[in-house]
Amino acid sequence: MVTLQYTIKDPAGIHARPAGLLSKTAKAFRSEVLIEKDGSTVNASKLMMLMGMGIRCGDTITITVQGEDESEAAEAIKAFLSEHL
Amino acid sequence: MKDKIFGVLQRVGRSFMLPIALLPVAGLLLGIGSSFTNPTTLEAYHLTNIIKEGGLLFTILNIMSKTGSVVFDNLALLFAMGVAIGMAKKEKEVVALSGAISYLIMNTAISTLITAKGGVEAMAENTTTVNLGITTLQMGVFGGILVGLGVAALHNRFYKIQLPQVLSFFGGTRFVPIICSLVYLLVGIVMFYLWPPVQAAIAQLGQLVLRSGYAGTWIYGIIERALIPFGLHHVFYMPFWQTELGGSVVIDGVTVQGAQNIFFAELASKATERFSVSATRFMTGKFPFMIFGLPAAALAMYRTARPEKKKLVGGLLFSAALTSVLTGITEPLEFTFLFVAPIMYVVHCILAGLSFMLMHLLQVTVGMTFSGGLIDLVLFGVLQGNDKTNWIRILPVGLLYAVLYYFIFYFLIRKFNFKTPGREADDEETKLYTRKDLNERNASKNQNADSVSALILAGLGGKANLSDLDCCATRLRVTVHDAAQVNDALLKQSGASGVIHKGNGVQVIYGPQVSVIKSRLEEFLDSPAADAPLSLPEASEASAAEESKISHRNTAAIRLFSPLEGTVIPLEQVPDEAFAAGILGQGIAIEPIAGKLYAPCNGTVSMVFETQHAINLVTEDGCEILMHIGMDTVALNGEGFTTHVKTGQSVRTGDLLISFDMNKIQNEGCPLTTPIVICNAEELGNIEIVASGAVRAGETILIIH
């Protein structure tokens, strides 16, 4: 299991498009990617749930990756976050 | 069961309104006309010089009196026809004819039996009458209602009957007067034997009244009111008014029998110092509740009517109250609440009875020609002087009655939510109707087809618009009367992939399953549900929604309707890589031409974006839909968007979700392209896009199989 934290810097937060891209990134791996904010957790492959989190600029999210390809997946997500968000 | 009885009673009550609407006018004509043509009245007021029999004024008044009277004399016929019309589901003109003929036949059967059994002389006194020239039993309005209800029931049962080929001319609506005539011939025979015992029992009640003093007066009042709906009150009170049952007095050397005769003899006699209370106890009690009580009840009904209906019921209630006040004709008012709220009529009877007793106790002695309105009060009370009549005592009692009636009626109507005029639900008639249809529908074999068929029928402009119905291999071929009534959007909602118009010919393309669709539509056309009035757009939306559920159940398909008016473009052409690549889901995009986004299906709002530029819906089946208004509109930070729903709210197809200012968005440099995508399409199945080019909101855009 890999855990990482990230604070959103994009002024628009995780709105529709970034959520779609994040979700797609997560789905590319077999590991389960969970995103937690303020005590609620969603599976990153569930786009609708992810959008429903309403993650805004300045929010800190905790990402938990678990599965056979967890380290690659965590790396990919980390790269995505720092590039887009 | 209770609801059903209540529902029927409500319809009966409403069916009374047609004949009742005539009564106030007839009542005024009769009240004014008869008061001033009554020879006793004319003599008492020395009007014989002005209103002379044979003179112009007298003749005019007499015409008023007689024309008013003819309405009341034939009230039973009016009810036979009016109630039948009110209770019939359709083909109402047939039921009116049947009601009239059945009423004549029932009375003629009775009449023939009366003659056969020794004529009117052989019958008990006051039990017969002449109705439309037919000597028959005195059944009053009850006889008419008996015919009206029965005929309507027979009509609703038989108006669509199919007879064997040779007799087919007599089938359908033509069968209704035939069967009604035969049934009421039998009813007439039964009533001839059944009714006289009822009348005899009532005459017995009269004896009870006489033996019980003040309490007897109360009982008299209660019974007199309670018998009005059955038309039996004449049987009951006439003996008191006209025979020795109501007393026997020697006035100016002549023996006079009957309460009313005694009063008028005393009125005519110069020797009278006070009128006899033993006679007027059977009359005076009417004044307090007719002049004060019932109009107050009308006010209570007016005050409890829904605001938007007040104007409408105000006219009915005001004219009915005016009739009661002026002439003492109370049926117009009483029938407005008798059937919708029988308990109020019970209260009314008790209070009316008390009024008679109070007048007896207070020694008020005002007589009347036929009822207790203001005209009679003035003529036989006020003008006679308080010394003779104590008429002033009516006023405090009357005011007390006004207060009592107002508050009791107001309270009862509110407490039990009685559907007095102006309180009925608007669509009650339709609702009752559809609930019944629903039962029939459940009983029928193919339940699922109905909502689709209903939608098709609505799309074709209703049953009345159909001239001919056929199909070929893939198309429903229909000839309609008015092509303008055909609604392509509704037809497409029903699953059609296209609609072709050629004059009054319409071809609706469904594919190979069209033959099933056609036969179901034909069956549906024969069911009563097809006659239900089309109420658009709610009905179409509701049935569309229902249909989408049904089709999902049958074929596991989810249907989305266009949330926007505009032009459909493929998702790949959306000027945004993520959407174009389908990263947010599969679907289509629309270039809107109107700034309103509607719900494309039933579902729950799972999220409204803070910036209001996008909305997520989840359907009952778990289909996740994202609608994103414009491109890069997140940057507008909500400017130009107004959201009409909240996260977590349930919505139905066609509900307005978001309105947006198209100019503002474009001025900010954002394209209006709005993708509509299914986020979890891969979990659900194949998406078939069925729309292209221009779409209107509500047309089917895609189906998920």
Residue of A24, A7, A27, A6 lying closest to A16 (CA atoms): A24
Q: Could B609 and A16 be called an inter-chain contact, meaning their C-beta atoms sit closer than 8 Å?
A: yes
Best of B574, B628, B634, B684 to disrupt the A interface by mutation (most A CBs within 10 Å)? B634
Both ends of chain A: CA-CA distance in Å?
Answer: 23
Cβ atoms of residues B505 and B478 within 8 Å:
yes
Burial class (CB within 10 angstroms; exposed 0-12, middle 13-18, buried 19+) of B385: exposed
State the CATH class of domain B447-553: alpha beta
Cβ atoms of residues B589 and B604 within 8 Å:
no
Cβ atoms of residues B398 and B366 within 8 Å:
no
What per-residue confidence (pLDDT) applies to B153? 92
CATH number at residue A64: 3.30.1340.10
Measured distance CA(B465)–CA(B487) in Å, rounded: 12
Chain A residues in contact with B584 by the CB 8 A cut-off are: 16-17, 19-20, 47
Measured distance CA(B254)–CA(B266) in Å, rounded: 11
Average pLDDT of adjacent 10-residue blocks, chain A of 85 residues: 86 83 84 84 82 82 86 86 82
- In this prediction, residue B3 has a pLDDT band, given cuts at 50, 70 and 90, of low
**Tokens 């009870």 — which residue?**
B208
Mean pLDDT (chain B, rounded): 80
Q: Could B606 and A47 be called an inter-chain contact, meaning their C-beta atoms sit closer than 8 Å?
A: no
Active site residues of A: 15
What per-residue confidence (pLDDT) applies to B426? 55
What per-residue confidence (pLDDT) applies to B539? 39
Question: Which residue of B lies nearest to A22 if distances are taken between CA atoms?
Answer: B583
Q: Could B626 and A24 be called an inter-chain contact, meaning their C-beta atoms sit closer than 8 Å?
A: no
What per-residue confidence (pLDDT) applies to B109? 94
- The boundaries of the domain holding residue A71 are 2-84
List, as ranges, residues 12-31 from A with C-beta within 8 Å of B. 12-13, 15-17, 19-21, 23-24
What per-residue confidence (pLDDT) applies to B211? 78
Shortest Cα distance from B535 to chain A (angstroms)? 36
Q: Could A17 and B614 be called an inter-chain contact, meaning their C-beta atoms sit closer than 8 Å?
A: no
List, as ranges, residues 258-317 from B with C-beta within 8 Å of A. none
- In this prediction, residue B540 has a pLDDT band, given cuts at 50, 70 and 90, of very low
What per-residue confidence (pLDDT) applies to B556? 55
pLDDT mean over B249-275: 78
Structure tokens at B60: 């005019």
Measured distance CA(B345)–CA(B201) in Å, rounded: 22
| B29 backbone dihedrals φ, ψ, rounded to 5° | -60, -50
> Across the interface, which of B624, B626, B635 has its CB nearest the CB of A16?
B626
Best of A51, A56, A57, A84 to disrupt the B interface by mutation (most B CBs within 10 Å)? A51
What per-residue confidence (pLDDT) applies to B1? 52
Q: Could A20 and B634 be called an inter-chain contact, meaning their C-beta atoms sit closer than 8 Å?
A: no
Element (H, E) at B63: helix B56-73
Does B698 score more than 90 pLDDT? no
**Interchain CB contacts (distance < 8 Å): A and B:** 55
Measured distance CA(A47)–CA(B149) in Å, rounded: 63
Does B531 score more than 80 pLDDT? no
Q: Where is mean pLDDT largest: B205-209, B413-417, B530-534? A: B413-417
Determine what percent of chain B is predicted with pLDDT higher than 90.
20
> Across the interface, which of A20, A48, A56 has its CB nearest the CB of B624?
A48
Query: B609 in contact with A at a CB cutoff of 8 Å?
Result: yes
Q: Could B626 and A21 be called an inter-chain contact, meaning their C-beta atoms sit closer than 8 Å?
A: no
Cβ atoms within 10 Å, residue B47? 14
Q: Edge-to-edge strands of the sheet including B505-509?
A: B466-471, B475-480, B505-509, B498-502
Measured distance CA(B400)–CA(B397) in Å, rounded: 5
List, as ranges, residues 546-605 from B with C-beta within 8 Å of A. 576, 578-579, 583-585
Structure tokens at B597: 């986004």
Query: B500 in contact with A at a CB cutoff of 8 Å?
Result: no
Residue of B633, B619, B636 lying closest to B579 (CA atoms): B633
Does B8 score more than 60 pLDDT? yes
- In this prediction, residue B130 has a pLDDT band, given cuts at 50, 70 and 90, of confident
Question: Which residue of B lies nearest to A27 if distances are taken between CA atoms?
Answer: B583
Q: Could A48 and B635 be called an inter-chain contact, meaning their C-beta atoms sit closer than 8 Å?
A: no
Q: Could B679 and A48 be called an inter-chain contact, meaning their C-beta atoms sit closer than 8 Å?
A: yes
Q: Could B626 and A52 be called an inter-chain contact, meaning their C-beta atoms sit closer than 8 Å?
A: no
- State the DSSP code for B371: S
Cβ-proximal residues to B284 (8 Å cutoff; 6+ apart), any chain? B356, B359, B360, B364, B365, B366, B367, B372, B394
Q: Could A47 and B680 be called an inter-chain contact, meaning their C-beta atoms sit closer than 8 Å?
A: yes
B631-656 pLDDT, tens digit each: 888 888 888 898 888 888 888 888 88
Q: Could A48 and B607 be called an inter-chain contact, meaning their C-beta atoms sit closer than 8 Å?
A: yes
Structure tokens at B155: 């009509």
State the CATH class of domain B558-704: mainly beta
Element (H, E) at B558: strand B558-561
What per-residue confidence (pLDDT) applies to B107? 94
Chain A residues in contact with B606 by the CB 8 A cut-off are: 48, 52
**Concatenated DSSP letters for B282-325?**
TTTTHHIIIIIIHHHHHHHHHHHS-GGGHHHHHHHHHHHHHHHH
Does B43 score more than 70 pLDDT? yes
What per-residue confidence (pLDDT) applies to B348? 94
Q: Could A52 and B616 be called an inter-chain contact, meaning their C-beta atoms sit closer than 8 Å?
A: yes
pLDDT mean over B61-70: 86
**Tokens 């003996």 — which residue?**
B239
In total, how many domains does chain A have? 1
Cβ atoms within 10 Å, residue B6? 12
Q: Could B584 and A12 be called an inter-chain contact, meaning their C-beta atoms sit closer than 8 Å?
A: no
- In this prediction, residue B439 has a pLDDT band, given cuts at 50, 70 and 90, of very low
Question: Which residue of A lies nearest to B582 if distances are taken between CA atoms?
Answer: A20
Question: Which residue of B lies nearest to A47 if distances are taken between CA atoms?
Answer: B679
B596-607 pLDDT, tens digit each: 999 998 888 888
Q: Could A15 and B614 be called an inter-chain contact, meaning their C-beta atoms sit closer than 8 Å?
A: yes
- State the DSSP code for B252: T
Shortest Cα distance from A33 to chain B (angstroms)? 17
Residue of B313, B299, B290 lying closest to B228 (CA atoms): B290
Contacts 24+ apart (CB under 8 A), B381-389: B381/B287, B383/B45, B384/B267, B384/B275, B387/B273, B387/B274, B388/B272, B388/B273, B388/B274, B388/B275, B389/B274, B389/B275, B389/B364, B389/B365
Active site residues of B: 472, 628
Element (H, E) at B507: strand B505-509
Chain A residues in contact with B670 by the CB 8 A cut-off are: none
Measured distance CA(B294)–CA(B401) in Å, rounded: 9
Q: In this structure, which amino acid lies at residue B555?
A: T
User: Helix crossing, A70-84 with A16-27: angle to 10°?
Assistant: 160
Measured distance CA(A14)–CA(A47) in Å, rounded: 11
**Tokens 């005519």 — which residue?**
B268
Chain A residues in contact with B611 by the CB 8 A cut-off are: 12, 15
Question: Which residue of A lies nearest to B632 if distances are taken between CA atoms?
Answer: A17
What per-residue confidence (pLDDT) applies to B667? 86
Chain A residues in contact with B634 by the CB 8 A cut-off are: 12, 15-17
Cβ atoms within 10 Å, residue B219? 17
- In this prediction, residue B385 has a pLDDT band, given cuts at 50, 70 and 90, of confident
Chain B residues in contact with A12 by the CB 8 A cut-off are: 611, 634-635
Query: A9 in contact with B at a CB cutoff of 8 Å?
Result: no
Ranges B361-365, B531-535, B699-703: which has the least confidence: B531-535
Query: A51 in contact with B at a CB cutoff of 8 Å?
Result: yes
* C-alpha atoms less than 13 angstroms from C-alpha of A12 in its C-beta half-sphere: 19
Query: B472 in contact with A at a CB cutoff of 8 Å?
Result: no
Chain A residues in contact with B622 by the CB 8 A cut-off are: none
| Domain residue ranges of chain B, discontinuous segments joined by + | 2-210, 216-416, 447-553, 558-704
